[in-house]
Amino acid sequence: MHDLLIHNALIVDGTGHEPFMGMLAVTDGRISFIEPEADPLPDAREIIDADGKALMPGIIDGHTHYDAQITWDPLVDPSPSLGVTTVVMGNCGFTIAPCRPADRDLTMRNLTQVEGMSLQALRDGVRWEFESFPEYLAMLERRGVGPNVAAFIGHSGLRTYVMGEAATQRAANDDEIRQMADIVREAMRAGAIGLASTTSEAHNGDNAIPMPSRLADDREMLALTGAMGETGHGLFMLTGGSKTTLDAVEQIAEHSGRPIRLVWGFLDNPARPGGALKNLQRAAQIRERGRRLYPEVSCAPLTMDFTLRNAYPLEGYGAWEPAMTADEADLAAVYRDPLFRERMKEELERFKGRRLFNSDWEKVTVSEATSDANRALEGRSIAELAAERGQHPLDTMLDIGLAEDLGTLFEAKLLNSDETAVGELISDPDAYIGLSDAGAHLSFLCDAGFGLHLLGRWVRELQRLSLAQAVHKLTGQPAQIMGITDRGELAVGKAADLLWFDPATVGRGAKRRLHDLPGGVARVTTPGLGVRGVWVNGVRMVDSDGVVRADRLPGRVLREFAA
């Protein structure tokens, strides 16, 4: 007898094949039966009529930053309620293992800056029951996890562990590189999914100091990715900066023999129309030469909420550094400084099209004013308000914030706002759809529901992808790219990670702000729409009301990956 039978379901199996009406059974956490709908039904302890709605593999979110949150929240809310059954952590190299006890506070301060996390929540919440990467994975297994979890060994954490303060000051010497390479090998043997790094100028740590991996030279990059490749499995994940070249990335792929998932110029930028598509074409040429290079794209507009107390969209500019290093009590003086403003305006013009924020002031709006006098500004763009005042838009934004003790909430639509261009990017058969950043930037955004957005906006509303194509891009394709062998498809013998949803209503809801992080700190989240149920290894975690069940933690720490 099966444990669970779901029948009268539109089966979308994750392979890209056409959906069909059928039934699926689960026994001991694995799919034990898939057949077209028939009568009589097989015997099962629990039988669910899917009412003709869709049943697909659970979403694999390959770009999360739950490394810290998972130590106090093994459910990694909100991802399970958004259809995600597997999360991959440690992206961009921002990890908390390995980490020496003496470096814990620095690591948390870096995460506060680079990933928009609350320092109070991290200090109150992180459970430091580990030092090495193998000890970190062992802790997760011991405590249990809600969804399945895979983790990168992170380049910045690795550098800090070996080099201490010098990690943010210089390139590594031969001995330090050897030590780091040994730790990479140890992590890969323990079950790391790969190595992650960043060279992006937007990635700054405590006190505006570049995150450590940005100081790595080519010699170090080749040594560490080579050490990863020696194990015969593993993925290199890289977020590239303005000095990153596809030639250098191709060299890493050739040297390591491993696939690369690259975040680099593959989001539509209004300042450089058509640039992302050209980059995709260049990546395709590299794949034609036999290198496994997968551009990471997003199906959602990159939108961030921010105040002038922590203006992450502007932190990729060197001229913004005084605002990043100042104490909060001194921020107002920084923003009033005419020299600060002039230097920032010069950089905004000089680097237009080459930073996260590209002076698209029409897409920066006053989201929430803190004073009655400014309520009428809500919903209006900074460009419009600046024109009325006869000012540069930077002056207008700073003046509004200063008038409200830096509490004004602004919203910036940064990248990927042109749906025609985004449709071209996500339709590329080799482009990997991700960039949820789940677990990070919690005060700015929540894109953990990117999969539901793809199914609702791009399949149902815009019909840019078929349902089978979209499901494959959320499940089977990421499993193949990252070597996750047991998931991503509905097939007999595979793990029973399932998402049951209504294609007519699926999507993500309006963002809302909750105060439920450790210490009562606020975060932005979005509810899932049209989700009927989510199962991880055959255990139901989410019901039709979106409730995440906490009585069991059915997830597994994934440690074995395909070559």
What are the pLDDT digits (tens) for 515-562? Answer: 888 988 888 889 999 999 999 999 999 998 887 776 789 999 999 999
Q: What is the pLDDT of residues 93-133, one digit of tens each?
A: 999 999 999 999 999 999 988 887 889 999 999 999 999 99
Give bridge partners of residue 202 from the DSSP assignment. none
Confidence of residue 449 (pLDDT cuts 50, 70, 90): very high
Using a 10 angstrom Cβ sphere, with 0-12 exposed, 13-18 middle and 19 or more buried, the burial of residue 1 is exposed
Look at residue 368 and tell me whether its pLDDT is greater than 80: yes
Q: Which 3 state secondary structure label does DSSP give 101? A: helix
Among 19-28, 239-248, 505-514, which range has the highest average pLDDT? 19-28
**Euclidean distance between the first and the last CA atom of the chain, given in angstroms as a whole number:** 35
Residue 315 has pLDDT above 90, yes or no: no
Coil, strand or helix: which one is 443? coil
Residue 128, pLDDT score: 98
Residue whose entry in the numeric block shows the structure tokens 């494959």: 472
| Residues 136, 89 contacting (CB under 8 angstroms) | no
Estimate to the nearest angstrom the gap between the alpha carbon of 189 and the chain centroid: 25
pLDDT of residue 511: 84
| CA–CA distances in Å: residue 97 to residues 160, 175, 178, 290 | 10, 21, 18, 33
Q: Would you state the pLDDT for residue 44?
A: 96
Domain extent listing, the chain: 59-301+416-488+518-523, 304-414
- Return the pLDDT at 221: 97
Tokens found for residue 34: 């898939």
**Can you tell me which residue has the tokens 């989201």?**
367
* 163 contacts 212 by C-beta, under 8 angstroms: yes
Q: Name the band, by pLDDT with cuts 50, 70 and 90, for residue 495.
A: very high
Q: Please tell me the distance from the alpha carbon of residue 395 to that of residue 495, in angstroms, as a whole number.
A: 55
Rounded-to-integer distance, Cα 336 and Cα 398, Å: 8
Measuring CA to CA, which residue among 383, 365, 364 is closest to residue 374? 365
Decide if pLDDT at 303 tops 80: yes
pLDDT above 90 (res 336): yes
The conformation of residue 415, written as its DSSP 8-state character, comes to E
Given CA atoms 170, 176, 181, 185 in this order, what sign does their dihedral have?
negative
The rounded distance, in Å, linking the Cα atoms of 237 and 292 is: 12
Question: Cα–Cα distances in Å, from 95 out to 65, 156, 334, 380, 553?
Answer: 8, 7, 32, 38, 23
Alpha helix positions (H), 330-447: 331-336, 338-350, 382-389, 393-403, 419-426
Mind listing the pLDDT tens digit for each residue in 205-249? 988 899 999 999 999 999 999 999 999 999 999 999 988 999 999
Residue 331 in tokens = 């921020």
Q: Which residues of 433-460 are buried (b: 16+ CB within 10 A; e: fewer)?
A: bbbbbbbbbbbbbbbbbbbbbbbbbbbb
- pLDDT for position 189: 98
Distance of alpha carbon 435 from alpha carbon 303, whole angstroms? 12
From residue 474, how far is each of 454, 469, 534 by CA, in Å? 9, 9, 15
In total, the chain counts a number of residues equal to 563
Instruction: State the Cα–Cα distance between residues 351 and 343, nearest whole angstrom.
Output: 12
Q: Mean of the pLDDT values across residues 80-99?
A: 98
Flag whether pLDDT at 272 surpasses 90. no
Confidence tier at 480 by pLDDT (50, 70, 90): very high
pLDDT of the residue at 314: 92
In this predicted structure, what is the pLDDT of residue 118?
86
| pLDDT attached to residue 312 | 86
The pTM score is 0.92
Based on its alpha-carbon atoms, the radius of gyration of the chain, rounded to whole angstroms, reads 23
Convert 512-549 to b/e letters by CB count within 10 Å (16 or more is b): eeeeebbeebebbbbbbbbbbbbbbbbbbbbeeebebb
CATH 3.20.20.140 fits 59-301+416-488+518-523, yes or no: yes
What average pLDDT does this structure show over 457-483?
A: 98
pLDDT mean over 75-103: 97
Taking residues 144-164, what's their average pLDDT? 97
Of the listed ranges 373-382, 419-428, 544-553, the least confidently predicted one is 544-553
Nearest to 298 by CA among 45, 473, 133: 473
Whole-number mean pLDDT of the chain? Answer: 95
pLDDT of residue 375: 95
Tell me: pLDDT of 6 over 90. Answer: yes
